[in-house]
Amino acid sequence: MNQQTSENGKGARVALISGAGRGIGAITAAELVRQGWRVSLGMRQPERPAWDVNGDVHLHAYDATDPGAEALWLEAALGAFGRIDAIVANAGIMIPKTVIEADDEDLDAMLAVNVKAPRRLAKAAWEPLAQSGRGRVIIIGSLSGKRVKSAKSGLYAMSKFAAVALSHAIRQTGFDLGIRATAICPGFVATDMALSITDRPADLMTDPADIARIIAMLLDLPNEASVAEFAINCQLEEFF
Ligand SMILES: NC(=O)c1ccc[n+]([C@@H]2O[C@H](COP(=O)([O-])OP(=O)(O)OC[C@H]3O[C@@H](n4cnc5c(N)ncnc54)[C@H](OP(=O)(O)O)[C@@H]3O)[C@@H](O)[C@H]2O)c1
């Protein structure tokens, strides 16, 4: 039996990935498909990825700032695949401002995409995740959800601390239903986001392909090997 084929014979497991048009989300989608998953990609501008040669990847319009978007996406993905086994809440934004420079609007914008939208996505997917008996939720947090490394990352850190707390809260809520949640907490990853805020060369940052492999591994672990947080760093710090 294919590793991804379910016991109930309804086909390969299905993952929803937000912000899958570029960066960590796009590479994670490709890796999961390579490992036999079916995927539904939520993007602001849905576009079929070049690697989807068979055209069987599901695409859906998804704007994390639209509170109705998650329910519509879930309905469409269920229509396409009939099951949801995992969500990867990846879409995120970073506004590099100190807590003194920033306005409420900056904080609201980051909380909307980095915290509120992932909560709604988990909520919308809750029933199918529970039905699978081994639902998985990956929240892409950050090492900025574990420590405040610089003044300019302070506002972003507020949102990512909340995202990590969200992941723990989902883990607590879903455990008896077989749902396992993990907060992935990377430092600099070589994507548009990090490359726009630091002079650190890309080859000294974590490769997004390595984040994708870690996500795939975490999704595969059995219910009895729950990982609450997974920290990844490209540089030496005291605790991470
Ligand atoms: N890169 C790093 O160093 C790093 C480190 C720690 C954590 N992270 C986290 O990793 C996640 C992925 O970031 P990345 O590094 O891949 O950055 P990225 O290349 O900038 O990609 C960000 C993704 O989020 C999507 N997105 C942003 N706002 C959205 C919205 N309102 N609705 C739907 N999608 C939206 C973007 O879509 P569009 O293409 O439509 O803009 C894009 O696909 C984020 O949560 C980020 O905070 C990144």
pLDDT digits (tens, 9 = 90+) for 164-197: 999 999 999 999 999 999 999 999 999 999 999 9
Out of 22, 115, 188, give the residue to mutate to test ligand 1, the one with the largest number of ligand atoms within 8 Å of its CB. Answer: 22
Residue 108 maps to a domain? yes
Q: Is the pLDDT of residue 200 over 50?
A: yes
142 CA → ligand 1 middle, Å: 11
Active site residues: 156
Q: Is 140 in the pocket of ligand 1 (CB under 6 A)?
A: yes
Out of 31, 40, 193, give the residue to mutate to test ligand 1, the one with the largest number of ligand atoms within 8 Å of its CB. Answer: 193
Domain range for 173 is 14-232
Q: What is the CATH number of the domain that holds 127?
A: 3.40.50.720
pTM beyond 0.85, yes or no: yes
- Confidence band of 4 (pLDDT split at 50, 70, 90): low
Nearest CA to ligand 1 atom 19: 23
Q: Is 130 in the pocket of ligand 1 (CB under 6 A)?
A: no
Q: Is 24 in the pocket of ligand 1 (CB under 6 A)?
A: yes
Residue 85 maps to a domain? yes
Q: Is 194 in the pocket of ligand 1 (CB under 6 A)?
A: yes
Nearest CA to ligand 1 atom 46: 92
Residue 139 maps to a domain? yes
Number of domains composing the chain: 1
CA distances from 232 to 149, 183, 186, 206 (A): 15, 11, 5, 8
**pLDDT attached to residue 8:** 44
Average pLDDT rounded to a whole number, residues 24-39: 97
20 CA → ligand 1 middle, Å: 9
Residue 109 maps to a domain? yes
Residue 227 maps to a domain? yes
Q: Is 21 in the pocket of ligand 1 (CB under 6 A)?
A: yes
Q: Is the pLDDT of residue 121 over 50?
A: yes
Residue 182 maps to a domain? yes
Residue 9 maps to a domain? no
Residue 138 maps to a domain? yes
**pLDDT attached to residue 55:** 85
**pLDDT attached to residue 149:** 96
